[in-house]
């Protein structure tokens, strides 16, 4: 098993002529050489080939980390204008300097339904500048959860112009909200995406949940999503999965991990074994973690031990985890608190241990959880079909992030 608390030598980085990343502890050469991407996959019909486990940057802005990922064989790098207020793009541009043409580079913008093509082009130009490049391989409409944004004709116009001008090669959509499945369907129906980037993890799989149904009371989420992903694949649209760790409370699982696989590796194997996604992207925040994550590369079969770990994870998290794509408590608060969004930002603080991202996202919510601090009626108390104690959790979010 790759120990996430140990680290490897920097041999591969030196071979590629890259700056050596931070070295925290020695590992044997044999172990070091076993670390790296073991499978590259075609991304739909784009003609692009990418590492099956790839670099997400929502929680980092560190050129050294980018170089380490590159040295380990990662070839798909994913960022967004909004990540760390542009600092992630800047770090990625710095980290990929001299190696830009060896990788597939993607960024995203949250263009609104009313956005004009010229304004979106300006946003793209700014991303290109931060990324120190003159083109992106993929440009995503970011975090789509309503059809209005997909239906904005200015987005389609912009992407056509940007392609003609050589500023983007492919266009895509990304999403993780409750309306993800219909948004994917719309994008496929209208040929608006060459690639889709979607939240997809074992906790969303009706077949996986069926195994646990006798023990837990699950409500399947977005049952149509796997079928939409299959349709995307059948249509030659590239599919990349994200949010694959179902909340990413990886530290809770350390006592149960055995040689041969960590929880994260098991979760990745689940995604890659479904055949519904070409590859996955995951936020990478330190070099140890990159090496541990890449221990899951190349495997497309689940083991019994993997299943045990995932089932245990679900059992531990079931009354804590606010499901991606669920909005069943929508409207339960008379004060309009955006419960699912508030709990998502709390997850960034508590589970991801990323107070920067948590506070930045919380601050952007239209209606935050301040009223939970003094709420007497707690009208939301029974609104979660999974048993989450919403008033306690939203109050906690207000205290932590307000």
Give the residues lining the site for ligand SF4 (CB under 6 A). 322-323, 326-329, 333, 335, 337, 339-340, 343, 369, 371-372, 375, 378-380, 384, 386, 388, 390-391, 394
The SS3 of residue 351 is: coil
Which token pair is 314? 């679900």
Give me the least distance between CB of 203 and ligand SF4, in Å please.
11
How would you class 378 by CB atoms within 10 Å of its CB: exposed for 0-12, middle for 13-18, buried for 19 or more?
middle
Determine the Cα–Cα distance for residues 171 and 118; give it in Å rounded to an integer.
Answer: 16
Nearer to ligand SF4, 160 or 330 (CB): 330
At residue 371, φ and ψ (nearest 5 deg) are -70, -15
How would you class 71 by CB atoms within 10 Å of its CB: exposed for 0-12, middle for 13-18, buried for 19 or more?
buried
Nearer to ligand SF4, 124 or 390 (CB): 390
Give me the least distance between CB of 282 and ligand SF4, in Å please.
22
Nearer to ligand SF4, 43 or 326 (CB): 326
Nearer to ligand SF4, 305 or 379 (CB): 379
CA distances from 148 to 56, 113, 214 (A): 27, 5, 39
Nearer to ligand SF4, 154 or 327 (CB): 327
The SS3 of residue 374 is: coil
Nearer to ligand SF4, 246 or 253 (CB): 246
Nearer to ligand SF4, 62 or 351 (CB): 351
Give me the least distance between CB of 344 and ligand SF4, in Å please.
9
Determine the Cα–Cα distance for residues 293 and 225; give it in Å rounded to an integer.
Answer: 25
Give me the least distance between CB of 77 and ligand SF4, in Å please.
31
What does DSSP assign to residue 29? H
Give me the least distance between CB of 295 and ligand SF4, in Å please.
30
Give me the least distance between CB of 74 and ligand SF4, in Å please.
32
User: Which DSSP string do the residues of 194-228 spell out, in sequence order?
Assistant: SEEEEE--GGG-HHHHHTTTTTS------TTHHHH
Strand positions, DSSP E, 179-304: 195-199, 238-242, 279-283
Which token pair is 86? 């542009």
Give me the least distance between CB of 353 and ligand SF4, in Å please.
20
């Amino acid at each position: 098993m790759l120990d996430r608390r140990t680290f490897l030598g920097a041999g591969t980085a030196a071979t590629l002529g890259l700056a050596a990343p931070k070295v925290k502890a020695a590992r044997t050469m044999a172990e070091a050489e076993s670390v790296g991407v073991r499978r590259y996959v075609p991304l739909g019909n784009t003609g692009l080939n990418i590492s099956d486990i790839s670099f997400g940057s929502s929680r980092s802005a560190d050129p050294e980390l980018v170089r380490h990922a590159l040295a380990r064989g990662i070839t798909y790098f994913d960022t967004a204008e909004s990540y760390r207020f542009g600092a992630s793009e800047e770090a990625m541009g710095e980290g990929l300097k001299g190696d830009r043409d060896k990788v597939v580079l993607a960024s995203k913008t949250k263009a609104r339904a009313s956005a004009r093509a010229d304004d979106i082009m300006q946003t793209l130009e700014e991303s290109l500048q931060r990324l120190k490049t003159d083109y992106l391989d993929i440009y995503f409409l970011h975090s789509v959860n309503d059809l209005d944004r997909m239906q904005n004709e200015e987005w389609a116009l912009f992407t056509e112009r940007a392609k003609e001008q050589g500023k983007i090669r492919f266009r895509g959509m990304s999403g993780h909200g409750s309306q993800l499945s219909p948004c994917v369907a719309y994008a496929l129906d209208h040929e608006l995406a060459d690639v889709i980037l979607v939240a997809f993890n074992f906790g969303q799989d009706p077949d996986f949940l069926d195994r646990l149904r006798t023990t837990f009371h699950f409500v399947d989420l977005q049952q149509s999503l796997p079928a939409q992903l299959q349709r995307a694949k059948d249509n030659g649209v590239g599919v990349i999965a994200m949010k694959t760790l179902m909340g990413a409370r990886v530290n809770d699982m350390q006592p149960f991990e055995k040689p041969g696989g960590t929880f994260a590796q098991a979760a990745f194997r689940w995604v890659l074994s479904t055949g519904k996604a070409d590859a996955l992207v995951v936020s990478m925040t330190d070099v140890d973690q990159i090496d541990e994550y890449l221990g899951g590369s190349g495997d497309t079969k689940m083991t019994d031990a993997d299943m045990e770990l995932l089932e245990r994870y679900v059992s531990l998290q079931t009354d804590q985890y606010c499901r991606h794509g669920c909005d069943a408590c929508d409207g339960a608060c008379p004060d309009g608190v955006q419960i699912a969004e508030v709990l998502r930002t709390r997850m960034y603080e508590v589970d991801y241990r990323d107070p920067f991202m948590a506070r930045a996202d919380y601050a952007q919510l239209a209606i935050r959880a301040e009223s939970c601090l003094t709420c007497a009626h707690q009208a939301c108390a029974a609104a979660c079909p999974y048993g989450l104690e919403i008033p306690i959790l939203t109050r906690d979010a207000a205290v932590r992030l307000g």
